Chains A and B, each alone.
Chain A
Amino acid sequence: MPVSLEVRGLSKRFGGIVVADAIDLELRAGRIVGLIGPNGAGKTSFFNLVSGVVRPDSGTVALEGRDLTGMKAHRRARLGLGRTWQSLRLFPSLSVLYNLLIGARHYPGERLATLILEHGRVHRAEKAGRQRALEVLQRTGLDGFAHREVGSVPFGQQKLIGVARALMNEPRCLLLDEPMAGVEGQAYRTIQSLVRTLAAEGISVCVVEHNVAFIRDLCDEGVFMFAGRVLARGTVESLIADRRLTELYFGT
């Protein structure tokens, strides 16, 4: 399967803390990789570095052969890098539908000049975006919530909104930061099957998750991180079986 995301030598330190230490990682189209490791291992930091939200000290990132190094976060997103946040980061002042519309891929109305001078075009894009948002809502089982304020939606559905929002950009690679934390029931199953379908559509997925059952059921491969380094990669089973890693994980 072709390489989707390619990370080489990604490093970052904050003062004395090394959050990424020469990380090399490849994600392949259609494959789901589970990123595991104890709290503070640098998993979220890795996502921040890859998505351009934090500037690395060194290292390169490429998506489908295209070099993203040094690019701003918004450009990476437009080129197909989608992500969600451990702490959700939804837009509380917008309804669910509008939260999704912020992620719309083509939005000419984002330029003030276009908005004023080419209103017709903006209007059409707005309609198309809305159409797509409604589809994504349907797909994520959120259609009943479209016009609710995000704060009033149950927590599991809020997590889904985070994923749905990232899908608006038609990502080629999706980074999910603890999508299952605090989620159960219907939302759990929806996220699970959604991630599967997305991968089947050829998207590369990287999931950070503490829920071992979820990782084992879903991921084709596991990567174990500790103190900013990739310590091991292989099948999830083999990582779980490794005594050394479990000890690091539970900090004995």
Chain B
Amino acid sequence: MEYLYTIAILMALNVILASSFNFVIGYGGLISIAHPVFYAIGAYGSALLARDGGVPVLLAIPAGALIALAASVLVALPSVRISGDYLLIGSIGVQLGILEAIKNVGWTGGAGGLTNIPALLRPGTDHGVYVALVVALAVLSVLLLHWITRSGYGRAMSAMRDDELAFAALGRNAVAMKVAIFALGCGLAGLAGGLYAHYFRFLAPAQFDILQSAALLTMVVVGGMRSTFGPILGAIVLEVLPQAITFLDLPAGLLGPMQGILFTGLVLVFMFIRPQGLIAAGSVWRGRALEEGHAGQS
């Protein structure tokens, strides 16, 4: 039972991560690979606040998400101002640099990891409660993002991706929009981090390395970029596949690389054979029924 709970929680967390990552790279058109690092910032922030700062866990988790959000604004502001390419480069620097910092400073537990993180649930509580909480938050996150992308804001995101100059010349602030998109996406990743930390109660920098970036990219690209259900499907597939590999009983040294090859290989296969992913998003923006104003468009 515990095993199934663990899988369910990881799956729900991956749904949050993949959906928010899809929001950033798919809808926002912002190329970043640093999503795992904001996941880490949320996890470490929340864990340290609760463990060393004495903050109640229930407050520490949203605080961790806010820290991740603030950090993402600091990253996005300088890099998005110039052009999209810089965000990618900046994000690689942030991804590697912050993990390097976590490994090197004492108060994060260093490379060995952070232990004794307080749990959210009182000892003895059925862990099914936690599963329900995480799944509920995952559903809420997906609904929120879906709602945004189908609103006028989503329409503006679509226009911005189409043509940023024309967008700006119509009085729309593309930079502010990109920063907001990045911040919301990364804040949700931070929320997932806090939820992870106070259930598994152990964090190590290796959990947030570039393998995670590859995995998230795979979930989004394989599932279907810019669709609501694509990343969810991707997250589920990618949680199940590695579990299947675990059953193969490979030596531990091979397991990591095999998973990595699986993730990256899948992305490549999809990029060339089915670039739109399992669930294809149309090329035309569609609002929600209310905003469409007409039963059948065109």
Interface pair A102/B184, CB less than 8 Å apart: no
Which of A74, A83, A109, A122 contacts B174, CB < 8 Å?
A74
Say whether B169 contacts A77, CB under 8 Å. yes
Q: Which of B163, B171, B174 contacts A105 (CB 8 A)?
A: B171
Given contacts A94-B162, A147-B294, contact A110 B169 (CB under 8 A): no
A126: interface (CB < 8 Å): yes
Residues of B close to A94: CB separation below 8 A = 155, 158-159, 162, 284-285
**Are the CB atoms of A89 and B285 closer together than 8 Å?**
no
Check B170–A93 contact: CB distance below 8 A.
no
Asked whether, in the complex, the Cβ of A90 is within 8 Å of the Cβ of B152, the reply is: no
Q: In whole angstroms, how far apart are the Cα atoms of A168 and B159 in the complex? A: 15
B158 lies within 8 A of A112 (CB)? no
B152 & A107 in contact (Cβ 8 Å cutoff): yes
**Which residue in chain A gives the minimum CB-CB distance to B184?**
A112
Is A165 within 8 A of B170, CB to CB? yes
Q: Are B151 and A109 in contact (CB under 8 A)?
A: yes
| B223: min CB distance to chain A, Å | 20
**With contact pairs A94-B158, A98-B285, A105-B171 given, residues A126 and B291 touching in the complex (Cβ less than 8 Å):** yes
Question: How near does chain B come to A73, taking the closest CB pair, in angstroms?
Answer: 4
Contacts A74-B174, A95-B298, A149-B298; A101 near B169 (Cβ below 8 A)? no
A52 contacts across to B, CB distance below 8 A:
168
User: Does A115 reach chain B (CB closer than 8 Å)?
Assistant: yes
User: How does the 8 Å CB contact mask read for B280-296 relative to A, with 1 for contact and 0 for none?
Assistant: 00011101000101100
A93–B153 touching, CB < 8 Å = no
| Given A93-B162, A112-B148, A122-B152, A102 contacting B180 (CB threshold 8 A) | no
Number of interface residues of A (CB under 8 A): 42
A126 to B176 CA separation, bound complex (whole angstroms): 20
A244 CB within 8 Å of chain B: no
Question: Does any Cβ of B come within 8 Å of A8's Cβ?
Answer: no
A93 CB contact (under 8 Å) in B152, B158, B169, B291? B158
A92 touches B173 (CB 8 A): no
Kindly identify, within residues 110 to 130 of chain A, every residue whose CB is under 8 Å from any CB belonging to chain B: 110-112, 115-116, 122, 126, 129-130
Query: Which residue of the partner chain A has the closest CB to B292?
Result: A147
* B165 in contact (CB, < 8 A): yes
Contact A91 B168 (CB under 8 A): no
Across the interface, A74 reaches (CB within 8 A) one of B155, B172, B181, namely: B172
Q: How far is the CA of A92 from the CA of B159 in the complex (A)?
A: 8
- Residues of B within 8 Å of A, CB-based: how many? 36
B177 at the interface (CB under 8 A from A): yes
- Is there an interface contact between A109 and B158, defined as CB atoms closer than 8 Å? no
* B-contact 0/1 string along A117-156, CB 8 Å cutoff: 0000010001001100000000000000001110000000
Q: Do the beta carbons of B168 and A89 come within 8 Å of each other? A: no
**Cα A149 to Cα B298 with chains together (Å):** 8
B166 within 8 A of A: yes
Kindly state the separation between the CA atoms of A51 and B167 in the bound complex, as whole angstroms. Answer: 12
Binary CB contact string for chain B from 168 to 207 against chain A (1 if under 8 A, 0 otherwise): 1111111011001100100000000000000000000000
Least Cβ distance of A241 to chain B in Å? 35
Q: Which of B148, B155, B174, B176 contacts A101 (CB 8 A)?
A: B155
Contact B168 A72 (CB under 8 A): yes
A53 to B165, CA, bound (A): 7
Decide: A168 and B285 in contact? CB cutoff 8 A. Answer: no
Whether a CB of chain B sits under 8 angstroms from the CB of A85 is: yes
> Which chain A residues border B291 with CB–CB below 8 Å?
126
Question: What 0/1 readout, one digit per residue, does chain B (123-155) give for beta carbons within 8 Å of chain A?
Answer: 000000000000000000000100010011101
Query: Shortest distance in angstroms between B258's beta carbon and chain A's nearest beta carbon?
Result: 39
Query: Is A169 part of the binding interface, using a Cβ–Cβ cutoff of 8 Å?
Result: yes
- Given known pairs A95-B298, A115-B151, A149-B284, the reply for A110 and B172 (CB within 8 Å) is yes
Interface string of A68-106 (1 = CB under 8 A from B): 000011110110000101000111111100110111010
Q: Are B169 and A53 interface neighbours, CB within 8 A? A: yes
The listed residue (A78, A91, A122, A148) touching B158 by CB distance below 8 A is: A91
Inter-subunit contact A95/B172 (CB<8 Å): no
Give the distance to chain A from B165, nearest Cβ to Cβ, in Å. 6
Instruction: Give the distance in Å from the alpha carbon of A92 to the alpha carbon of B160 in the complex.
Output: 11
* A166 beta carbon closer than 8 Å to chain B: yes
Q: Which residues of B contact A85 (CB under 8 A)?
A: 166, 169
- Could you list which residues of chain A lie within 8 angstroms of chain B, going by C-beta atoms? 51-53, 72-75, 77-78, 83, 85, 89-95, 98-99, 101-103, 105, 107, 109-112, 115-116, 122, 126, 129-130, 147-149, 165-166, 168-169
